[in-house]
Each structure stands twice: as structure tokens, then as C-alpha cells.
Amino acid sequence: MPKMQSYASPDAFIEAQTDWRRPLVEALRAAILAAAPFDESIKWGNLVFYSNGFCVLIHAEDHRVLLGFLRGKRLRDIEPRIRASGKYELGNWTFVEGDAFDAVHVTALAARAAALNAELGDPTKAADAR
């Protein structure tokens, strides 16, 4: 398993991206930040967005970028490319080089994710967390 990269800040995370990943990660970040008053940090080598708890994350690897939603399983009716994964209600949308997306759509997904956290609380502390 590759060693996890550590970043000093969200800006450092963005600056560390190269090739096709950097413009994608910049656009995803901007779309997410347009959705709600998120707090950003770095956790487990990911760019993480908080709104009433852990809400959205961006994970970048050499050959893919994951846009993760902690309540992503509840967003699959809006975006079927989100695949259920892992603990809680996590769902990931995977991007590879050349994939396109609509920033307005990502903003709507992030807004819905923030609204779900406002309604249901932090998914990592919810009674239904597994």
C-alpha cells in the first residue's frame, strides 16, 4: 500500500496535484465551496469539507480522483455515478483523466450533502453509523 501523503493545508493539497488532476481538483473544490459555508481541512491525506460534521472529501491518486460524500448512498438518486463504499453511508464518484462533470451539479450535490448533515447530524456520530 502506498504511503499516505501529508499536506500542510487545503491549498498545499491543491498545489501538490499535477497533470490533469490539478484543474479537476480545483474545479471540484470551487464547486463544493459554492454550495455551503464548509470548513476545510486535511484528514488522512484527503481534502475534507465539514458542515455539521464530516460531509465531503476529495481524494487524489495517480490515476484517479475520488469525490466522496459521507452520506453518498442518499445522493445516488441525484447522481447514479456515486458508488456505495465503506463505512457510514459513504459514496464515491470516481474521475479518471478525460472525465467531464458539471460544476453546477457538483454544487447541488454538496449542498444536498450539507443539508442532510444539518437534518441528520454528523454521519460519523449518527446512530445509524456502522
Domains of the chain: 10-117 (3.90.1150.200)
pLDDT tens column, 67-118: 999 999 999 999 999 999 877 799 999 999 999 999 999 999 999 999 999 9
Name residues whose C-beta falls within 8 Å of residue 54's C-beta, 6 or more positions apart in sequence: 48, 70, 122, 123, 124
Bin 45: left if φ > 0, else alpha if -120 < ψ < 50, else beta. left
Does residue 122 register a pLDDT over 80? yes
For the chain, the C-alpha Rg in angstroms (whole number) is: 14
